[in-house]
A and B are shown apart, each in its own frame.
Chain A
């Protein structure tokens, strides 16, 4: 406890400091995801007008499609934001989502035999979220009690959840027979898809938890300095357990909404979304070292990815360019972050 290592400061300043150049850079670094988003939208707008003489962003159909497109990755990324801020990572979220989608389909169908349609739908969603919590509990216990690094523990759970999801689905997709569920996934309220409304409410609740509760505050502290958090009397084990249950349940909700949108549960529902979720968090301004990040940053990050993916299809570019574009945005994002850290780090001890 008396090591002489200097204090590590992986943390981006979150406020301006009176120094104009520094606060300017900090603001850019902080809001970079929104800048990316604006830049991308402008690019696609120009591209679309030049190539097709049509608007990109002013077309409500495009906006809706992008929003729906972003919902599932965003749900995963919201849970991932908490985990990454704590200094961890959750690699199992993609297949927990798949497992939840299959559970939602099965549970809704089974409940539909015995009870009214809306009730069966609610039961299906509840079952998906609760079942998703189980691998979350195991992740949390592995990491907090047995001290397995999050990367390894959740990688193991990635495999377990994957196998369980395919077994439960019998190797195929499980169609949902429930008209309310289908409506939830595809209906609109005054033109706004229900899915987007649910995601928006969810995001606001998660923002509240992260920024306004002790749980959120402790999450930042643990990510910055777990020793300090422990000395301050925070129950680290309990926190880590709840943290991974929370992220798994986010994926559970993501799975249920997937089943609603496609009126079927599929084990591979979240497979491509795991890396997108990490990318959204990083583009959103969080540090993989832990200690920084925000929910609204992640929202912007998820939208950046959705706009790239949808936009490139819209302007008729081969889909493989998506991977390259998202990859470049991640790299640029991290470079901005590091430049900003170096800049503020150099002036730390004046």
Chain B
């Protein structure tokens, strides 16, 4: 469970900055994520959390600083490049095609094909369904109807599908921007337990949330952002709600 601080971090950012004109959305920010570690990113609205994960996931280029993947410096021109290197971002608005099945969503953009009658290329829906079942099973998430469109599922289940897609394509680092924000309480619990699964599988997770309850339930460490600056970093076992709130609001 415990992340040994000696192992090479999966992902490390050093002195990362991002300016939008005069706005310093992120300023000299550093943090690291190790295998099997869940790092919570907390901070008030406008603190720079989304800016940070967009810089990490290739949505835009940082103005300064560097990103290291297993110790190697990397730059991502596009989110696609970040994804190919195993960094998957799961947005809170659930990037799924609601009219397609779980399998079709997992394979969206890279669908497996097979030959019908020995010559005609057709979508291999069976392979998609099998992979969907296995993947969702690994997340301890069982659905009876694998051919149903994901619009039939609840918000938490859809969140699980998005995570399942990342797991299937073997993302080593999952970045989740407020994954529980749009969900009811039971669904939030489900997502939290999914994050525990990811951790147990040795993946690194960066987890953005406003909800301290969730943060304390699932994280190993918490990094607090305030107006683009790293306002503090604590092991979850060595801090409490009060201290985190103080770090967030300052003073």
Contact = CB atoms under 8 A, between A and B. Distances in A.
B59 interface: yes
A98 B54 CA distance: 49
Interface residues of B, number: 43
Given A1-B50, A234-B109, A225 B96 contact: yes
A232 B108 contact: yes
Nearest to B54: A1
A32 B154 CA distance: 27
A15 B104 CA distance: 14
Contact of B109 (A1, A229, A350): A229
A4 B222 CA distance: 24
Interface in A1-29: 1-9, 11, 13-15, 17-18
A212 B123 contact: yes
Interface stretch (B3-11, B30-38, B140-148): B140-148
Given A6-B182, A13-B148, A13-B151, A220 B99 contact: yes
B111 A214 contact: yes
Contacts of A344: 151-152
B123 A217 contact: yes
A213 interface: yes
Interface in B52-100: 54, 59, 79-80, 83, 91-100
Nearest to A9: B151
B202 interface: no
B177 interface: yes
Contacts of B110: 232-233
Nearest to A345: B151
A17 B154 contact: no
A213 B123 contact: yes
A65 interface: no
Interface string A181-221: 00000000000000000000000000010001110011011
B111 A15 contact: no
Contacts of B137: none
Given A7-B155, A221-B108, A214 B123 contact: yes
A15 B148 CA distance: 6
Nearest to A347: B152
Sorting the interface of chain A by its residue count into under 10, 10 to 19, 20 to 34 or 35 or more gives 35 or more
Counting chain A CB atoms within 10 Å of each CB, the highest count among B97, B110, B177 belongs to: B97
Contacts of B108: 217-218, 221, 228-229, 232, 234
Interface of B is mostly: loop
Contact of A14 (B99, B109, B155, B182): B99
Nearest to A226: B97
Contact of A2 (B93, B120, B145, B151): B93
A270 interface: no
A14 B79 CA distance: 32
Contacts of A208: 120, 122
B181 interface: yes
A103 B154 CA distance: 53
Given A2-B178, A13-B148, A217-B100, A225 B95 contact: yes
Nearest to A5: B93
A18 B145 contact: yes
A291 B99 CA distance: 6
A292 B100 CA distance: 10
A59 interface: no
B41 to A, nearest CB: 13
A15 to B, nearest CB: 5
Contacts of A11: 98-99, 149, 151
Nearest to A225: B97
Contacts of A6: 182
A348 B99 contact: no
A213 B99 CA distance: 16
A286 B100 CA distance: 15
Contacts of B95: 225, 227-228, 231-232
Contacts of A213: 121-123
23 contacts: A1-B93, A4-B92, A7-B94, A11-B99, A11-B151, A13-B149, A14-B149, A17-B145, A18-B144, A212-B121, A214-B111, A214-B113, A217-B123, A220-B100, A221-B99, A221-B100, A221-B104, A224-B100, A231-B79, A233-B83, A291-B98, A291-B99, A344-B152
Interface of B: 50, 54, 59, 79-80, 83, 91-100, 104-105, 108-111, 113, 116, 120-123, 144-145, 147-149, 151-152, 154-155, 158, 177-178, 181-182, 184
Interface of A: 1-9, 11, 13-15, 17-18, 208, 212-214, 217-218, 220-221, 223-225, 227-229, 231-234, 291-292, 344, 348-350
Given A2-B92, A214-B113, A348-B152, 11 more contacts: A2-B93, A11-B151, A208-B122, A212-B116, A212-B122, A213-B121, A220-B100, A221-B97, A221-B108, A225-B95, A233-B80
